[in-house]
Chain A
Amino acid sequence: MTRDDDSSRSGARSLGITPDDLDGHTIEELSAYLDAGRTPVDPSIEESAGCQLALQSMERLRGLSEELLKADEAAESAVANDDRWISRILDSIAIDARAGRRIPIGHEDPAADLGITEGAVRGIVRSAESDVHGVIVGRCRLTGDLTVPGEPITVVVDASVLWGENLPEAASRLRAAVLERLSAHTDLNIAAVDVTIHDIHRLPGAEDES
């Protein structure tokens, strides 16, 4: 490794990245050492002032990368209100792709072939949120043997509740609303509705009351 003499009077010399400054180590070594989380500890790197400077500089850059991404994001923020741009995506997705499994529904007439898709059941479950103040429904899972008519089905629902609402009460009201809606619209044998509140949301502009 040769010393870059030209650099000794300019930036690189004082910046300490020539091999002499790095006590025989190279930037490539230091770069890989940094990415390995500085383990296993290499005393010849850790005890070299030059290497420490170079590592600090690389870490500073790493620290800036998060800020850089935030700035890049902010620079593109207008797209969030560009309905035409957003619609181009929404218009390209296949909404019916989420029908899921078909759940047969029993009927006196064995020749009748009735069923409802999982997607439709989930849609009904989501609609129950409008019966309970401050609740937003997330993912919904149906468990049980969905292929046999009349088999008990358990509905597992994620939900988010508005800050300040009583959580157990909101969960129990959502549970009741889901049951009511499912029995009104389907003949499914619902064994249980399990509601898990995963999040507490605040309305935009709401004061932090905590």
Chain B
Amino acid sequence: MNVVVTGLGTTSPLGGDVASTWEGALAGRSGVRTLDNDWAELYGVPVTFAGQLAVRPEEVLSRPETKRMDPSAQMALVAAREAWADAGLPEVEPERLGSVVSSGIGGVWTLLTAWDTVKERGASRVLPLTVPMLMPNSPTAYISLEFKARAGAHAPVSACASGAEAIGMGFEMIQSGRADVVICGGTEAAIHPLPISAFAAMQALSKRNDDPAGASRPYDVSRDGFVLGEGAGVVILESEEYALARGARIHARLLGLGMTGDAHHIAAPEPNGAGQTRAMELALERAGLSTADVVHVNAHATSTPVGDMIEARGIRALLGAHADQVLLSATKSMTGHLLGGAGALESVFTIKALETRTAPPTINVTEPDPELEVDLVRDTPRALPEGQIAAINNSFGFGGHNVALVFGTA
């Protein structure tokens, strides 16, 4: 069964919706800035910047919505409403509508704020909505409530691959006949002193405190770690048959999905990238495409010294000499790393790239890694070819989770 994308939504460090986020990406703008708080002074948090949302959810949601939902669910709901409206508010039977929206970490603000309450004011002051707010399936559950998605509400968790895995699961819900329409995506709201301290303890974060906008620099020789970002991305997937029957506008096709596990290390990727490459291979195979059909890759590329080149070598190994004709974009250079939201936001970027035939830029690359053997789009967008074209969106997560999604033009 063919699966098409009919709706897109996001709230990101570049903008409160898809139009402003895409415009920001094409302009090569950075959404990363210094945090407006005293966490460094109070707790010694070593990183003082992040990719913070351009539009806070409380600016667009009602007061009760912001009180009942963790920020991760709030962001997901903002993105889902935009995507649903963009899809033309499908009048789908609830039993044929699914929701698959993931988060890598879950309601970390709720969990830790409630613990502060226990310590400072006692157990009796813990609010009764704490559990439904902190559970990582909260975003998908709230979305299923709002849109009456009764075919199933899921939240596959695989760290930074969660958003992509959610889209993959939505794809499979449609292909297996469980649903006609699925709201899928990912969200993360983890700009809190604890996750920052914990990622910093792993030496995973950039410490470029004096240059926040220049800190996320995938493939640059001086990259020193990822930049934490927050936000959500949502796509509406539909069976092609259903979309055509209701006259929906089709942004792109979701052609293939490849998922593998490294079984190598709890956090480090396999040094030869075999699992990542195999995910891309499987996705192309399932799409019925050859490597020559691929014109664009939205890389996972988080700006870590080791990870970026493992993926890049894998892309080169898979595509061979054709890699010279493939435009590679690392949009985390502008948004930071949305963890569980990353694969979803980057799917939105990949779909927009195909739809507008424009590959977004990678910023902050002043000196590319000499080992990089793929055509990297730097600083300004570049045109993608005419005709039927396809693109890969890669997402990898701590734990050895590898997800590759292959999208094609409508």
Q: Do these two chains really belong together in a complex?
A: no
Give residues in B with beta carbon < 8 Å to A: none
